[in-house]
């Protein structure tokens, strides 16, 4: 069974705090790692797709890193704002049964208090 | 100007009925998917089509039948609905199939199916 796990499950921070979450995935059969941001009552929106070990990507105050050898990715939010409140999903593109499938974690729910 | 649109948004029906959920994407993508959000909020892949060809068919009851009339549409038909089918179903599309290039998914807004 190939699982993608995220921690913590939920996180409450104060406006202005910086925070980070972890995504762990099987390092074998790996092709790519995706991060999505999912606001309540909306659909998930892609933040980053990373494939190479050591990849780092940044979009505004949000950045992500990738370690494919040990099977983890971190998502960082610098100076959290209330509008950052959302569920952050990671998903790993894994080779399973001769085809690549995007396997999702259960998400980290972030609440930023003003 | 919605990129991935699915209808209906809500679907309430009785056990034993047959229902369909429609999905359309105007992004020119080659690959479309159906995901089910389970009771633990995980998004689980059900089906994937690439240029109208079925490429992923997970262990889903054969009461669920996807149909892709063209690469911009992927509909989901469900026969003999059961209580356990109640969930949120998400359609998505990507430029190419997974395992090739870096293709993020673009999701529809979901269809909340309630079977009573």
Q: What angle do CA B59, B33, B5 make, to 5 degrees?
A: 135
Asked if B79 and B16 count as a contact pair (C-beta separation under 8 A), the reply is: no
Asked if B73 and B107 count as a contact pair (C-beta separation under 8 A), the reply is: no
Helices then strands, counting H and E runs in chain A, come out as 0, 11
* Mean pLDDT value of segment A86-109: 90
A37 reaches B (C-beta below 8 A): no
| pLDDT per residue as tens digits for the range A80-95 | 999 999 999 999 998 8
Give the CA radius of gyration of chain B.
13
A102 reaches B (C-beta below 8 A): yes
Mark yes or no for CB contact B104/A49 under 8 Å: yes
* Model confidence at A2: pLDDT above 70: no
| pLDDT per residue as tens digits for the range A44-76 | 999 999 999 999 999 999 999 999 999 999 999
| pLDDT per residue as tens digits for the range B77-95 | 999 999 999 999 999 999 9
Q: Give residue B101's Cα distance to chain centre.
A: 22
Which helix (DSSP H) or strand (DSSP E) does residue B89 occupy? strand B87-94
Q: A99: which chain B residues are within 8 Å (Cβ-Cβ)? A: 55-56, 98-99
* Model confidence at B101: pLDDT above 80: no
Task: Report the distance separating Cα B7 and Cα B84, nearest Å.
Answer: 20
């Amino acid at each position: 069974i190939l699982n993608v796990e995220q921690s913590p499950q939920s996180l409450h921070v104060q406006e202005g705090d910086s925070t980070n979450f972890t995504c762990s995935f099987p390092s074998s059969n790996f092709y790519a790692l995706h991060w999505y941001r999912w606001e309540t009552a909306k659909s998930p929106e892609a933040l980053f797709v990373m494939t190479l070990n050591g990849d780092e990507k940044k979009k505004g105050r949000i950045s992500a890193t990738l370690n494919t050898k040990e099977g983890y990715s971190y998502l960082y939010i610098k100076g959290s704002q209330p509008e950052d409140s959302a569920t952050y999903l990671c998903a790993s593109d894994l080779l399973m049964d001769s085809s690549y499938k995007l396997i999702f974690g259960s998400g980290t729910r972030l609440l930023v208090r003003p | 100007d919605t990129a991935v649109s699915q209808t209906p948004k809500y679907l309430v029906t009785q056990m034993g009925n047959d229902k369909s959920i429609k999905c359309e994407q105007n992004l020119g993508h080659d690959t479309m998917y159906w995901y089910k959000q389970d009771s633990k909020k995980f998004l689980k892949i059900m089906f994937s089509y690439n240029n109208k060809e079925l490429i992923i068919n997970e262990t889903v009851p054969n009461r669920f039948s996807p149909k892709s009339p063209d690469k911009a549409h992927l509909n989901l038909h469900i026969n003999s609905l059961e209580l356990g089918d109640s969930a949120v179903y998400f359609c998505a599309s990507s430029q190419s199939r997974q395992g090739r290039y870096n293709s993020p998914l673009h999701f529809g807004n979901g269809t909340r199916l309630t079977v009573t």
